Copies of this chain bind each other. A is one copy, B any other.
């Protein structure tokens, strides 16, 4: 009950998407974060969108902003483009509390 929102970033990786959904839900309910940032790179972007949509479906979270961008990485001398996504979810308005 004394837990605070320290880190509100969720990095979506190779795990099953429900892991990340649970992580977002925990940040909203347990740590009482105002907003949660979902980040992903490359082919995990579609999973990040699925995580965000699931959270919206489950707890009525709202999208504050959706940004896409790119980073460049060096891979053995070759410059590769790597796309990124950043979805900011804001907490659902609690009318009951």
Contact = CB atoms under 8 A, between A and B. Distances in A.
A52 B67 CA distance: 12
B68 A52 contact: yes
A28 B58 CA distance: 39
B70 A67 contact: no
A31 to B, nearest CB: 24
Contact of A57 (B44, B45, B66, B70): B70
Which interface residue of A44, A54, A63, A68 has the most chain B CB atoms within 10 A? A68
The number of chain A residues touching the other chain, given as a range, is 20 to 34
A87 B83 CA distance: 14
Given A46-B83, A52-B68, A66-B67, 11 more contacts: A42-B46, A45-B45, A46-B46, A49-B68, A49-B83, A53-B83, A54-B81, A57-B70, A66-B66, A66-B68, A68-B87
